Amino acid sequence: MSHPILYSFRRCPYAMRARLAIAASGIEVELREVALKDKPHTMLNVSPKGTVPVLITTDGHVIDESIDIMVWALQQSDPKNYLCFEPEQQRITTALIKQNDQPFKYFLDRYKYADRYPEHSEQYYRQQAETTLHDLERRLTQNHFLISDRTSLVDIALLPFIRQFAFVDKTWFDQAPYPRVQAWLNQFLNSVSFNTMMIKLAPWKDNDDSIYFPGINSDM
C-alpha cells in the first residue's frame, strides 16, 4: 500500500476525532466511507468488531481504537505540537478523555435518544451530561483551550462529542450558561480543517477510485 487506509463514517464522533488528528498531522490516507448497515468485508476481515474508525498502516498494522489512531498519526507528524505536554497536562488529558468517553458519552446517548431510555427524562440525561460542560467551562476560564493556550490532542478528542451534545437542542445550547465552551466549539466548527474533515462521500466499494484525505493544509 502506498498510503494508510482509514475506514470511517462521517458522523461518528470517534471517526471524526481520528480524521481531525490525521488532518492536523498532515499525513495523507486513503479514506473509505463506511455504510454502517453494509460494512465492507475488507474492514471486517481486519477488525471483526465492526466499528469505525479502523486504520491500516502501510506495513499492514491494524489500529481500531480512535485515540490510538490519533496518537499514531501525531507521532508520525505533529507540526503544531499537539502531543507536546508537561506531565500534569498529560494526566489531565487522560482524565478528560476518560470522562468524555465514559460518563459523558453514556448520558449523551441517552439525552440524544431519550425516547429509547424512558427510565428518566431528556432533561435528566442532559443535566447529568452537563457535569462535563461545567468542568470544561471552568477549564476554559484558565486557558484559551482545555489544557493550555493552544490546541492539543484533548481538544480535538472531545470536540466531536461536545458538538453532538450541542446539536441535540441547539436553541437550548446557545443560551446555556457555557459561553466559553460555546466559543471554543464555534472556533473549531468554523475552521477549514473541520469542514474538510466533514466532506460527504458515497460509501466505499471494491474497485472504487481512491480518495485521499485530507488533501489540504490544516488550520487547526
Residues designated catalytic: 12
168 Cα distance to chain centroid: 17
SS3 38: strand
At position 212, the amino acid (one-letter code) is Y
Q: Is 42 exposed, middle or buried (0-12, 13-18, 19+ CB in 10 A)?
A: middle
All cell numbers assigned to 111: 439525552
Q: Is 184 exposed, middle or buried (0-12, 13-18, 19+ CB in 10 A)?
A: buried
Would strands 54-56 and 5-8 be described as parallel, antiparallel, or unpaired?
antiparallel
Would strands 29-33 and 212-213 be described as parallel, antiparallel, or unpaired?
antiparallel
